[in-house]
A and B are shown apart, each in its own frame.
Chain A
Amino acid sequence: MTKTLEGADGLTSIPALLHRNATKFADAPAYREKEFGIWQSWSWSQALDEIEALALGMIDLGVAEGDFVAVIGRNRPRLYWAMMSAQMCGAIPVPLYSDAAAEEMTYTLGHCGAKYVIAGDQEQVDKVMEIQGDLPQFEEMIYLDARGLRKYDHEKLRSYAQVQDTGRARRDDLIADMKARIAKLDYDSTAVMLYTSGTTGNPKGVVLSNRNVIETSRTSSEFDHLRQTDDILAYLPMAWVGDFIFSVGQALWTGYCTNCPESPETMMTDLREIGPTYYFAPPRVFETQLTNVMIRMEDASKLKKRMFDHFMAHARKVGPDLLDGKPVSFMDRMKYKLGDLLVYGPLKNTLGFTRVRVGYTAGEAIGPEIFDFYRSLGINLKQLYGQTEATVYITAQPDGEVRSDTVGVVCPGVELKIEDNGEVYYRSPGVFVEYYKNPESTADTKDAEGWVATGDAGFIEPDTGHLRIIDRAKDVGKMADRSLFAPKYVENKLKFYPNILEAVVFGNGRDECTAFINIDLTAVSNWAERNNIAYASYQELAGHPQVLATIQSHVEAVNRSVAEDEMLSGCQVHRFVVLHKELDADDGELTRTRKVRRKKIEEKFHDIITALYDGSRQISTVTEVTYEDGRKGAIKATLEIREAAVEKVTTRMAAE
């Protein structure tokens, strides 16, 4: 390899980048947060001042080099600063999922042996207090929002402002120590540790070095031509690698501004107000937004609705081509311009996408209709494929080569290979250092030459070089007749229907496939309202005969589409049930990033699965549910088992 991996201009650590920005872009906005109804902003030099004050205060508190400092809370500038302050102390920041229950935190905090915790508010402080008896190494907690904490025992508790004040007061005594610690940081020292959400077993602590973070940020920023004047909205969990790269890595590399919403509930309003130019959202967010738009259009006046339908049809026809720079006739261009004035522009403004120049989605497959909807509006929405172990980027779609069914071409600096079993391997400067305190798993995932197994099965399209992912490698199984079983492939097709929120397909080692389906309450309840269908609960709506009939028609449509693919035609769904409860992370059925945990679901609902295969017409079941405060309850239901029509397995002849 000829390209340098040693960091241009001595920028080999996050504090070094921060110092550069504070000099080079001193007065440019670095962070904004809406507080008390007003966007408060901090320039790069102000941010540096705040971060240094906190770092000095932390040194005063006793934070030593190599200590782990956990950061728990929603996206707020001060918590991003806390991570950088930890780095300035030579400590390692560990952002944790703020919605995790206390027991889940016991594992992560205990595993990394975090001595210090920086908590966003009372809720997080309470959780850590609850488990601190199980954490022998725990020393002190710093909190941000003092609300409700006045009466707490402050022996091991300090406010963020108080630590900063100490830092400012003792600056002269401690600044030399801090500078020495920063000077020791190099390209191979640890920048951050992130826990993977883990579909199986305990979460693993992924150690990422400055090299991983900075190299990845550099190449990806160049790939998408990110600019210093860009704006992003930081609203995804801070513990997620993507947020770390977008809001810390790339933000520091390019010097753009990170905007934090006022509260999770105001996210959509804040999105409109900020109008980010660089935006990331998982497919679910795009889906929800589209569903909301469609619902509101149903209620709009006749004229508006006709205008919307007319121009959206035109946008679908020429919008994506315009975005990709393909030739479009003059008349079509003119009509698109008119549509932009009347429909697309106002719609984008409502959604907060007016300024989006680079938009990404990843994590799950996105429905082609959803994807095309946004692209046809002129929003440059693209897909990328990545994981924590790769510091996000493995493949991404370059401008002008965007499709809904691939995840793009290899990112700069990344090498890709496909093993015989279909599993995708990669090697790049972003490849993680190790799983903390877990050499076996590290060795299992990363071989001596640095190749990392993604755990996903896929293939590279020969003519375009685009990667297509079929499913998780371990989920790809065989049916009883040895044909391929790819549950995710079918589930995604099902989930593309707005009425279906979640689907789980079973069939590994069996003759036929069956499925669990969750209805999307927003879409289905709106439909029920418009059709005068009364219901009292989620459960009742989910079991309504007309809802079941609609879902059945979706399943049958998916079967027809699955049957077209020779390799996967065995995966047609023969029977299904619509579940009486929404699958939920609190019940362990989904991961915190809302991925299906197949094993858990199979164990928990084994009676329903049995019923799907033994010819029953219905099944009575009792399900345990966990409420948000950790209490448990149970719901009883009788579910109807529906048969879905399947296509005869088509041969090539019949297909033509």
Chain B
Amino acid sequence: MLDQSEGYTTADGRKIGPVVMEMKNITLRFGGVEAIKDISFDIREGEIRAIIGPNGAGKSSMLNVISGFYVPQEGQVFYQGQPRPPMKPYQVARQGIARTFQNIALFEGMTVLDNVMTGRLTHMKTGLFWQSMWKGRAETEETVNREVAEKIIDFLEIQAIRKTPVARLPYGLKKRVELARALAAEPSLLLLDEPMAGMNVEEKEDMSRFILDVNDEFGTTIALIEHDMGVVMDLSDRVVVMDYGKKIGDGTPDEVRGNQDVIDAYLGVAHD
């Protein structure tokens, strides 16, 4: 078992810090349906933590609990050592958590740059008055934020589509723009909901590289949900496996790969 207070060092020599988020005995119900049943796990600083499982396993619900969008009926979420009360989405954003969505939630009519700039909203302090004056503080602030946005555009190699309306982009690029917008918030915890869904092999490779680079370059803690086992195993430091709302495995990719319950869940066994 891993030491609870200290971090650990990964195979490729990255230092993983203490626990930043902890799920304790989470149960989430929608009416009579138990989407998540008594799940506990933690996310450590600087690691890439994956949640995997077959369709309907409750992965997205879990991510929504982490992001604070769903409030579990039972159990407690601890963020940076503190129990977390129910929060509004903007409060979550201010805590340094950013996310992307499975089915892409960008502003289709706006350009890539404008979309990325919306990710900077939490860092903008000037009010409507100054913004509309477009002088002084508001202007300085815009410059600073634009610089951050541009660095991210450069980082994700989307310079060529900077001024293109999002609606005109292919799916794979939209996913990348969504990642850019999430990164623009300079999050300490980044949640990715199926970042690789619907992509071809090349796009998946690109996206994997960006995820690793984000983690490497900005030290961002990443929690991601993914369908594609191969990608997850290559990418993540530790994996939680879910099936029918229950946790059936937790550990390094190698540990998880050898877990009989996990193999059964993916390959299927007769249910009695």
Contact = CB atoms under 8 A, between A and B. Distances in A.
Interface in B144-181: 146-147, 150-151, 153-155, 157, 159-160, 162
Contacts of A150: 216-217
Contact of B153 (A37, A148, A151, A269): A37
B213 interface: yes
B179 to A, nearest CB: 16
B217 A265 contact: no
Contacts of B113: 37
Interface string A635-647: 0000000000000
A35 B154 CA distance: 8
B13 A36 contact: no
A262 B147 CA distance: 15
Nearest to A146: B217
A37 B216 CA distance: 24
Contact of B13 (A148, A151, A266, A269): A151
A263 B157 contact: yes
Interface string B204-227: 000001000100110000000000
A36 B157 CA distance: 11
Given A262-B159, A265-B160, A266-B160, A36 B217 contact: no
Interface in A23-44: 35-38
Contact of A148 (B14, B154, B216): B216
Given A35-B154, A36-B151, A151 B160 contact: no
Contacts of A269: 160
B213 A37 contact: no
A599 interface: no
A151 B217 contact: no
B213 A148 contact: yes
A147 B213 contact: yes
Interface residues of B, number: 19
B160 A36 contact: no
A265 B159 contact: yes
B57 to A, nearest CB: 33
Interface of chain B: mostly helix, strand, loop or mixed: helix
B159 A37 contact: yes
B6 interface: no
12 contacts: A36-B150, A36-B153, A36-B154, A147-B155, A147-B213, A148-B209, A148-B217, A151-B12, A262-B159, A263-B157, A266-B159, A269-B160
Interface of A: 35-38, 147-148, 150-151, 262-263, 265-266, 269
Nearest to B160: A265
Shortest beta-carbon contacts, A-B, top 8: A265-B160, A36-B150, A37-B150, A266-B160, A262-B159, A266-B159, A263-B159, A148-B213
A263 B150 CA distance: 14
Contacts of A147: 155, 213, 217
Nearest to A150: B216
Contacts of A151: 12-14, 216
A544 to B, nearest CB: 25
Contacts of A266: 159-160
Given A36-B151, A37-B162, A148-B209, 5 more contacts: A35-B154, A37-B150, A38-B150, A151-B216, A262-B159
A37 B12 CA distance: 34
B40 to A, nearest CB: 32
B153 to A, nearest CB: 7
Of residues A36, A150, A151, A266, which shows the largest number of chain B Cβ atoms within 10 Å of its Cβ? A36
A36 B154 CA distance: 6
Q: Which of B155, B159, B209, B213 has the most CB of A within 10 A?
A: B159
A262 B213 CA distance: 20
Interface of B: 12-14, 113, 146-147, 150-151, 153-155, 157, 159-160, 162, 209, 213, 216-217
B216 A263 contact: no
A150 B12 CA distance: 12
B150 to A, nearest CB: 4
Contacts of B162: 37
A151 B159 CA distance: 26
Contacts of B153: 36-37
Tell me which of B12, B14, B160, B213 has the highest count of chain A C-beta atoms within 10 A of its own C-beta.
B160
A630 B184 CA distance: 35
Contacts of B155: 147
A151 B12 CA distance: 8
A344 B14 CA distance: 58
A113 to B, nearest CB: 33
A113 B157 CA distance: 34
A375 B155 CA distance: 40
A254 to B, nearest CB: 30
A265 B209 CA distance: 19
A263 to B, nearest CB: 5
A415 B239 CA distance: 73
A262 B163 CA distance: 14
Contacts of B151: 36
A36 B147 contact: yes
Contacts of B159: 37, 262-263, 265-266
Nearest to B150: A36
A330 B146 CA distance: 52
Nearest to A267: B160
A148 B12 CA distance: 14
Nearest to A628: B202
A292 to B, nearest CB: 15
Nearest to A268: B160
A211 to B, nearest CB: 40
A481 B69 CA distance: 83
Contacts of A35: 154
B104 to A, nearest CB: 22
Nearest to B157: A263
A611 to B, nearest CB: 34
A518 B155 CA distance: 36
B180 to A, nearest CB: 13
A36 B146 CA distance: 9
Contacts of B147: 36
Which of A37, A38, A269 has most B Cβ within 10 Å? Answer: A37
Nearest to A37: B150
Nearest to A264: B160
A205 B41 CA distance: 61
Nearest to B14: A151
B232 to A, nearest CB: 21
Nearest to B13: A151
A262 B216 CA distance: 24
A182 to B, nearest CB: 35
A147 B157 CA distance: 12
A18 B13 CA distance: 45
Contacts of A262: 159
A365 to B, nearest CB: 31
Nearest to B209: A148
A151 B216 CA distance: 8
B158 to A, nearest CB: 9
B224 to A, nearest CB: 19
A150 B162 CA distance: 27
B261 to A, nearest CB: 34
Nearest to B151: A36
A620 B150 CA distance: 51
A252 to B, nearest CB: 29
A444 B174 CA distance: 56
A122 to B, nearest CB: 9
Nearest to A261: B159
A150 B155 CA distance: 14
A147 B159 CA distance: 16
B202 to A, nearest CB: 9
Nearest to A263: B159
A151 to B, nearest CB: 7
A265 B159 CA distance: 8
Nearest to A265: B160
